[in-house]
Structure 1
């Protein structure tokens, strides 16, 4: 008799396990009990990144011993995933490793007319509150938080883990109904979107009449120097952007800033500018035809393309890259212009054979930028031209 417990470990960085028969979840030990003949272990998806998974608990799928008595009974299957590590603190990972993977999983594993219960293991309850509206788009049932439960729960079946198809992407060839990142964008619009009345006004960005007919540029800022990639001459950047005709809004939401406010601001804007980092994840909120300008620090060209360039193109955005020169990077002061760190970062990264924490610290944490505003002004001029065309069509 085939086992009702199955784990699929062939994915590069992710495991997905399932129990195809009735099961009991004991949240105190994060264990699904089943009467099948096997005993398997399912870990959080990022199984290769040890410095992340060290902080993430494990869920166990087991056929023995006999499970505890059922206290709460559900008529829909469970979908268990973990919200810890980077998902808690980083906006990019909340979407790349969380919601996009959740979208892929529910559309790949469950049928169109099937219900399921989201079961979330988390160490940050505020995360559930911040994203509650979006989470409820995936299930009509009340979300179960494992950490807040002591009662045992029965489900007709269960899925543990989330599927991934790469960085910030949805591959239509792998989706049952050929869904793409644009379908995910439509889900965000259904959740947070409002009918735009010329230009949205939020508590983040009150608008004066003189600004109403200027293209809005959202500047994704990074004020925490300990995390790197700060624009050191940001005040000058803002001044030049305003000289080129933009209304400029600096955006750096707090952890508890309502996502509906951020969505309303960004989706009513025309240009998003920022250094490679979590703030550029807001491109998911832009309307097709909007402009994205990604500032690429030294050593991050390939990563910037994967994280934001490719998804921007998939969403129908006007994507531009500004690769900084050696003289614009703070790494020059620390390593010197002839060090391999600066002279040929791709060779250095190739020799390492893995995008290690050490390399991440050099290029993501240690590095800030001082933009050459003469050169960057040219990019702003092009962005303004594209934004005016878009604004005339879409408002």
Structure 2
């Protein structure tokens, strides 16, 4: 048996800010209503290991299908609680946890509320989960998790992926992901009965990969998922949930066409390119009795008129050697357009993301 401490510390500095460039969850707000010039956060977790099982208590960054931290802003979010991660059985990873407080991306407080992506449900007092992933070999993986959002919902996730190698550096791959969400107990978030699922097929040939995905939210309520004190969460395991919009509206049908290119085969290792187009339509919550979700948006009686689309382009490079080895630079452009009456506005975004890992030991 072994004991240890795991910790992290992070510092965020404001380089520039002004009108029209606030409200993006990058920086916390001062008492005067302006973004702070700097902020920092730290966390510690006690770890106990017996055989191939690790138990942790304290500040952590969970990454499971029903609870995932976010690192899409300047500093990552985190959660405080207990977790168990076990690899006692061959090919099988089992995890469980219970968390009672969170720290959002733009906060230094470790007592934030556990909320949801839609930001309209009452705060849950705790989030508990258990589940596991089975890997038969390098080609097949199956995952199942169940979670309890205290007095609001039970949410279950099931997913599987399979890769079929072909000759001449080619392969076919397939994925299925599904989330089943139902209110329970005191039902403080109102009635919820939603099954959201997606399927994906991909063909890889050499350094190229082409993917097609379909996603459907079967329910009068949207597909909602855990967030960190009314800010971003990690991306759930549905294929059309993107970094900009989740395509998670009630009864929404969406499809995606995606292309990936790895330039390593052309003599430029570390350079990657991705572009995708996602289109959603058919949003309809006219039969929902959930007042929390309906106060955000009421879709009109003709769901075929409710449409939106997103186009993303991503170009990244990781330096392979020298003093700046592992420095990554990523350029990301996103465009979103929607018909009148949908929840999301027209949107244009350009991000420059630079990351430099520093080894201190």
Q: Is the TM value for this pair above 0.5?
A: no
Instruction: Tell which has more relative contact order, 1 or 2 (C-alpha 8 A, sep 6+).
Output: 1
Structure holding more strand per residue: 2
Normalized against structure 1, the TM-score is what?
0.23
Larger gyration radius, structure 1 or structure 2: 1
Normalized against structure 2, the TM-score is what?
0.25
